[in-house]
Amino acid sequence: MKIIDLHAHSSLQPYGQMFKKNPSKRDLSRMSLWFYNPPKFLKGLGEKLGLSAYSQANFFSAGRGHVRVVGVSLYPPEVAFFKNKLPSFPGNGLENMITRYSADRIEEIENGQYDYFEDIAGQYEFMQRFNQSDSPNNNYNCVIAKSFEDIKTAASQKDTYTIVGVLNIEGGHALGCGYPRQEKQELTAAQQKEIIGHVRTIKNWQYPIFYLTFCHHFYNQLCGHSKSLPDKLSKVIDQSYGENLPLTPFGEVVIEMLLNKKEGKRILIDIKHMSIDGRKRYLEMLADIKAQTGEVIPIIYSHGGANSRKDYESAISAAQNSNLNPADLGLFDTEIVAIADSDGIIGLNVDQRVMSSEAYAKEVKRKVKFKKKDTRKKLWSSIIWNNIQYIAEVLHRNGRKPWDTMAIGSDFDGAINPVNYFLQLSDMPELANYLQQHLEDYYQSSECIFAVEDRLDAATVIEKIGFNNAGGFMERHFQ
């Protein structure tokens, strides 16, 4: 089965190695989208913090996993990540564990001259190097997409296995903001002018940015963010500054520039990581655009799951499904419906912490003991299935098509702790197989809310989630 992954950090590790001053031959090989570093269950600090640092989203792994399109997320590391409460051990400290960057890369970020926009421009140039490149074994090649036509062409090829990279940016700070010195610091007129210039620049890149995730882990002076770091990691990295703040007036200006089709191509907005107030205001902005122009702009939620809370007013204690993570970071029921109504897309993450409640993850760990591998894999894959079932039921109960809005947005190589046994892009077909088994079981269970005549074939549903929904979304909106 073919796969589209809407959101993965395939370039994060190889670009992070580019800063080594005296690279060895081994180091040089790591500076490639094709570098394959197989998963290992790490012990010690990384595992305890809920992180996995091996290569998960390299293009060689994508080829092995029949992942034909990868939404490559460009991300300039936020400086606040490197201001932790642990002592620094260059090349071996917490920063290296999280990022797998070289010590020289970390030094470059910490030197006081680091510029987010210059870094994102460097990553964009880095990705261009791999356009029309071949894997070391010549089994696969890479194309960086200019439009959906490149995806269509690659999918029609019979003698060539092409992996298409579709570029996106994670974090509005990439535009050159997010360096606050004091609470709610305002951007100066000169800074705002510079950021507007950067927006114009990226809207005219040869290889378009499909969408921009407006927030990330730390305050970017455009919009407040939701808490996103694991509790254990939060003890050493503080992301509370700017957390839950609303969308700023200048943030609205930036969004309007990104969405308009003037001065370059439209860049869609990804609501993942935005604060509740920020998301609420953004949906109001889209409603205003629809009222004024009749245009419905699609809402993207690129990598996450449902929090099983009905609306923004529902407290965490009001979560309806104890198997899901109830945090603000996840989708509310009203957002799930709004995304479907906007012809939007929901990318399903594979991070076990993001996609499940702490209690459910513990239950899975308890149940898998002494079980056969096939049973263990099915139990672990239930973490993803629980989100699929919940989202489908919300849509069905609200009179929407239940299976047309979900896709894969793995967030591989985004410092995540993936669901056990599904650790990299090459594991996606196997995950799809287990998800199909879960759906077949659901259809036969007493908890199924779909009438027999409404039960779309399980294999067809998983093909929609794995490839067709995202492919159709790109065909309509990546022009």
pLDDT score, position 47: 45
Q: Looking at the 3D structure of the chain, how many domains does it have?
A: 1
pLDDT score, position 462: 98
| 260, two tokens | 């308009």
- pLDDT of 184 > 60? The answer is no
- pLDDT of 223 > 50? The answer is yes
8 Å CB contact between 354 and 306: no
- Residues 187-196: tens digit of each pLDDT: 999 999 999 9
* Rounded mean pLDDT, 46-64: 75
Calpha distance 258→81 (Å, rounded) = 27
* Rounded mean pLDDT, 355-360: 97
* 288 or 53, higher pLDDT: 288
* 103 or 75, higher pLDDT: 75
Strand partners, 164: 69, 143
Could you say which DSSP state residue 175 is in?
A: G
**Range scoring the smallest mean pLDDT among 45-54, 202-211, 300-309, 317-326:** 45-54
pLDDT score, position 44: 39
One-letter amino acid at 76 equals P
**Range scoring the smallest mean pLDDT among 87-96, 148-157, 265-274, 341-350:** 87-96
- pLDDT of 80 > 60? The answer is yes
* 425 or 51, higher pLDDT: 425
pLDDT score, position 111: 86
Calpha distance 173→213 (Å, rounded) = 10
- Residue 101 confidence class, pLDDT cut points 50, 70, 90: confident
- pLDDT of 248 > 80? The answer is yes
**Range scoring the smallest mean pLDDT among 100-109, 260-269, 348-357:** 100-109
8 Å CB contact between 302 and 272: yes
- Residues 409-460: tens digit of each pLDDT: 999 999 888 999 999 999 999 999 999 999 999 999 999 999 999 999 999 9
**Range scoring the smallest mean pLDDT among 106-110, 205-209, 291-295, 322-326:** 106-110
Residue-number span of the structural domain to which 229 is assigned: 3-477
- pLDDT of 213 > 90? The answer is yes
Calpha distance 439→448 (Å, rounded) = 10
Calpha distance 383→387 (Å, rounded) = 7
- pLDDT of 45 > 70? The answer is no
396: CATH: 3.20.20.140
- Residue 37 confidence class, pLDDT cut points 50, 70, 90: confident
Residue that has been written with the tokens 């489908």 in this structure? 392
One-letter amino acid at 236 equals V
Could you say which DSSP state residue 182 is in?
A: S
- Residue 276 confidence class, pLDDT cut points 50, 70, 90: very high
- Residues 121-177: tens digit of each pLDDT: 999 999 999 999 999 999 999 999 999 999 999 988 877 899 999 999 999 999 999
Run of H or E including 169: strand 162-170
Pairing of strands 133-134, 141-144: antiparallel
One-letter amino acid at 131 equals N
8 Å CB contact between 243 and 227: yes
- Residue 27 confidence class, pLDDT cut points 50, 70, 90: confident
